[in-house]
Chains A and B, each alone.
Chain A
Amino acid sequence: MTEQISDQTSAFIDDELPDEESAFLLRRFERDADARGRAIRYTLIGAALRDELSPDHMLLRRRIALAITGAAPPAQRAPSRWRSRWVRPLLGVGIAASVAVASIVGLRALNDARVGSGNPGAASSSLPLQTRAADGPPSYVVPQEVADAPAVAPAVRLTNYIVHHSEYASRLSRTSVRSNVVGAAELLPVTQQEQQERQQPLPQPPPAFKRGTPPE
């Protein structure tokens, strides 16, 4: 999905896309199975993150398919100004889009999620691990796809090291490490904060550290 299509989708979700462009976007979804597939996957992501896949995780797909064929539930009906010649397909995509919006809210909540406060990730904390819900009204943003991200193609050698490393990773981590290679096709550039960190002395080792001969 190009950046332009992402922007259009975002505007469409916000009900800010002109009618002509909305019609164009719908036609795009009708003929572009790839884009349509992505949209459905976004709905799955959102539903999964909100634990709404059970008890029937296929329900969402069926609802979207049903809506696109014109049998949308009344609660999901579009505003009256949309009742034009493309209202039926628009309604269908609108439902898919609204679920995608929920996905983004879910994603945002997930990415903002912290466990408790202070330093709760450490074992000394008695707070249970919980993610907090997003505060404030939802903001509608189309998810940034990996392909659209301002990614720097990773050095093949580093990719190779990580593939090599994955063979030694614990079984708990292997899928994660391999997903990083397969999915996150980006090597993030060194940030200013990281540059500053590099200038700082190494962290104070805990007592369990083993010390040998310092490097020359």
Chain B
Amino acid sequence: MARSLLRHPLVFVTLAFCADASAEEARQWLDKMNRAVEDLNYQGTFVHVLEGTAETLKIIHRNADGRSGERIESLDGVGREIIRQDNEVQCILPDRRVVLLEERKDISPLVSSLPGYTDEIEPHYALRLLSTARVANRAVQMLEIKPRDEFRYGYMLWLDRDTAMPLKSQLIDDQGVIVEQILFTDIDLHSAIPAEAIVATIDTTGFTTLRPPESSSLAADIPWRAAAVPGGFKLSVATQSQIAGSQYPVEHLVYSDGLATVSVFIEDPHTKSEVSEGFSKMGSTNAFSLTLRGRKVTAVGEVPRQTVRTIASSLVTE
């Protein structure tokens, strides 16, 4: 009966239309989430779980007059902190007694060239709305994002029904294993956040501060390109960047498929690099480093290991 129904052209067209409508609605949820994480004021506590460890972190995000600031601090472990405010990113590493200062990039027009959640991601991810549920005492809409190959991770998202803020998210590899989970245990989405909340809480007296050198002339043309990139990854940014603690600028390429991003850093030949060759990772962020033509090349991204290796290993000069 069901089979004969499916053979009916009208039923087939209706089902196809419903699938398209679901994907379109899923994209709209993604777009709404994209705005929510940046535009809303919120503070909360979330649990970050990966590889058998769980850590509690606190996040405070403030948006005032279109300018956002954010502080993320670890409530366990070594108590690191990241503060993004105005044009600066400050990363405090008490375990190393180091403060890293970086120029904040997402207010520059460079980032606007990153792909959005358009139908361009469809060939590489399948989007599907699932059921509703509750997280942190709030109604959520579940959204599944499955990769169509092994070069990117999938996501399961629990988005707040009112604001689309992700209250729970899972990063899932191609074998279906949950690589990482982020889960809010409490969140306040509507409070006004004072500017004083986005300041460092760690006393950095005696810490070494590493900051980028004073702006020097940076090359406009970057000759390096990855010769082999997984489908859907496009070159979004090619620039020279000043890196804290290094007197030489680093060439920086950014490849993105709209959801996942891979950065490739090519160090100046005069730099004495401290990044070891081969694979490394920090949490769920994978890195692969090798030496090409006397340059240390390091690719990092929230993608599987083979993706950073493939991209880094294929680097050529044009």
B-binding residues in A (CB < 8 A):
37-38, 41, 44-45, 47-49, 51, 53-57, 103, 107, 110-111, 113-117, 119-125, 128-129, 131, 143-147, 149, 153-165, 167-190, 194-195, 197-198, 202-203, 205-216
- Whether A173 touches B260, Cβ cut-off 8 Å, given contacts A123-B148, A161-B298, A209-B230, is yes
Task: Please list the 10 inter-chain residue pairs (A to B) with the smallest Cβ-Cβ separation, ordered nearest first.
Answer: A208-B231, A180-B283, A115-B176, A212-B227, A146-B77, A184-B283, A167-B105, A123-B126, A123-B146, A165-B263
Can you add 15 more A-B contacts, CB < 8 Å, to A197-B305, A214-B316? A44-B185, A53-B135, A54-B135, A54-B138, A116-B176, A123-B146, A156-B96, A164-B265, A171-B34, A176-B283, A183-B283, A187-B281, A197-B279, A198-B309, A212-B228
CA distance A145 to B103 in the complex (A): 32
B80 on the interface (CB 8 Å rule)?
Answer: yes
**Selected contact of B261 from candidates A55, A168, A183, CB within 8 Å:** A168
Q: Which secondary structure dominates chain A's binding surface?
A: loop
Assess the A215–B292 pair: CB atoms within 8 A: yes
* Residues of chain A within 8 A of B135, CB atoms compared: 51, 53-54
The answer to whether residues A208 and B232 also contact, given A121-B172, A163-B89, A184-B55 and a CB cut-off of 8 A, is yes
Chain A min CB distance to B267 (Å): 9
B72 x A179 contact (CB < 8 A): yes
Chain A CB within 8 A of B163 CB: no
A121–B114 touching, CB < 8 Å: no
- When chains A and B are docked, how far (Å) is the Cα of A215 from the Cα of B178? 35
Tell me, rounded to whole Å, the shortest Cβ–Cβ distance linking B63 to chain A: 13
When distances are taken between beta carbons in the complex, the residues of chain A under 8 Å from B256 are 168, 170
Give the complex CA separation of A6 and B285 in angstroms.
28
Q: Do B182 and A175 touch (CB < 8 A)?
A: yes
Q: Which residue of chain A lies nearest to B155 when distances are taken between CB atoms in the complex? A: A172
Contacting pair A175 B77 (CB below 8 A)? no
Docked pose: A121 CA to B148 CA in angstroms: 9
Of B10-18, B43-51, B190-198, B214-222, the stretch lying at the interface with chain A is B43-51
Residue contact B93 to A158, C-beta cutoff 8 Å: no
Residues on the A chain within 8 Å of B46, using CB: 175, 179
Per-residue A-contact encoding for B225-243, CB less than 8 Å = 1, 0 else = 1011111100011000101
Write the chain B residue with the least CB distance to A42. B54
- What is the number of residues of chain B that contact chain A, defined by CB distance less than 8 Å? 133
CA of A182 to CA of B48, assembled, Å? 10
Contact indicator B283/A179 (Cβ below 8 Å): yes
- A202 and B310 within 8 A (CB): yes
Residue in A51, A165, A189 whose beta carbon sits within 8 Å of that of B300 in the complex:
A165
A180 CA / B283 CA spacing, docked (Å): 5
B185-211 interface with A by 8 A CB criterion: 185-186, 210
CB within 8 A of B76: which of A41, A123, A198, A205? Answer: A41
Binary A-proximity of B150-166 (CB < 8 A = 1, otherwise 0): 11001111000000001
**Known A164-B263, A206-B231; contact A146-B76, beta-carbon cutoff 8 A:** yes
- A119 contacts B174, C-beta separation under 8 Å: yes
The reply to whether A157 and B130 form a contact with Cβ atoms under 8 Å apart is: no
CA distance A208 to B120 in the complex (A): 13
Docked pose: A149 CA to B274 CA in angstroms: 22
Q: How far is the CA of A194 from the CA of B278 in the complex (A)?
A: 8
Within 8 A of A (CB), among B60-106: 72-78, 80-82, 89, 91, 93, 95-96, 98, 100, 102, 104-106
Tell whether, in the assembled complex, residue A122 and residue B147 are in contact, meaning their CB atoms are under 8 Å apart: yes
A98 to chain B, nearest CB (A): 17
- Report if A53-B185 is in contact (Cβ < 8 Å); known contacts: A174-B37, A184-B283: yes
Distance, CA A39 to CA B70, complexed state (A): 27
Task: Say whether B95 contacts A159, CB under 8 Å.
Answer: no
Question: Which of A51, A54, A110, A175 touches B49 (beta carbons < 8 Å)?
Answer: A110
**Does residue B5 face the partner (Cβ distance < 8 Å to A)?**
no
Measured CA separation A210–B136 after assembly (Å): 44
Does B293 reach chain A (CB closer than 8 Å)? yes
Taking a contact as CB atoms under 8 Å apart, the answer to whether A165 and B301 are in contact is yes
* Bound Cα distance A144, B186 (Å): 23
Q: How far is the CA of A115 from the CA of B179 in the complex (A)?
A: 12
**B239 → chain A closest CB, angstroms:** 10
Chain A residues with Cβ under 8 A from B310's Cβ? 202-203, 205
Closest chain B residue to A202, Cβ basis: B310
**Cα distance, A107 to B314, chains bound together (Å):** 38
14 residue pairs A–B, Cβ–Cβ below 8 Å = A54-B138, A107-B54, A129-B144, A164-B102, A169-B302, A171-B37, A172-B155, A172-B166, A175-B59, A176-B285, A179-B48, A197-B279, A206-B151, A208-B123
* A209 and B228 contact, CB distance less than 8 A: yes
Across the interface, do B315 and A183 meet the contact criterion of CB distance under 8 Å? no
User: Could you say which residues of chain A place their CB within 8 Å of the CB of B186?
Assistant: 53, 57
Q: Indicate if the CB atoms of A160 and B245 lie closer than 8 Å.
A: yes
A129: chain B residues within 8 A (beta carbon): 130, 144, 146, 154, 156, 170, 172, 176
B78 in contact with A185 (CB, 8 Å): yes
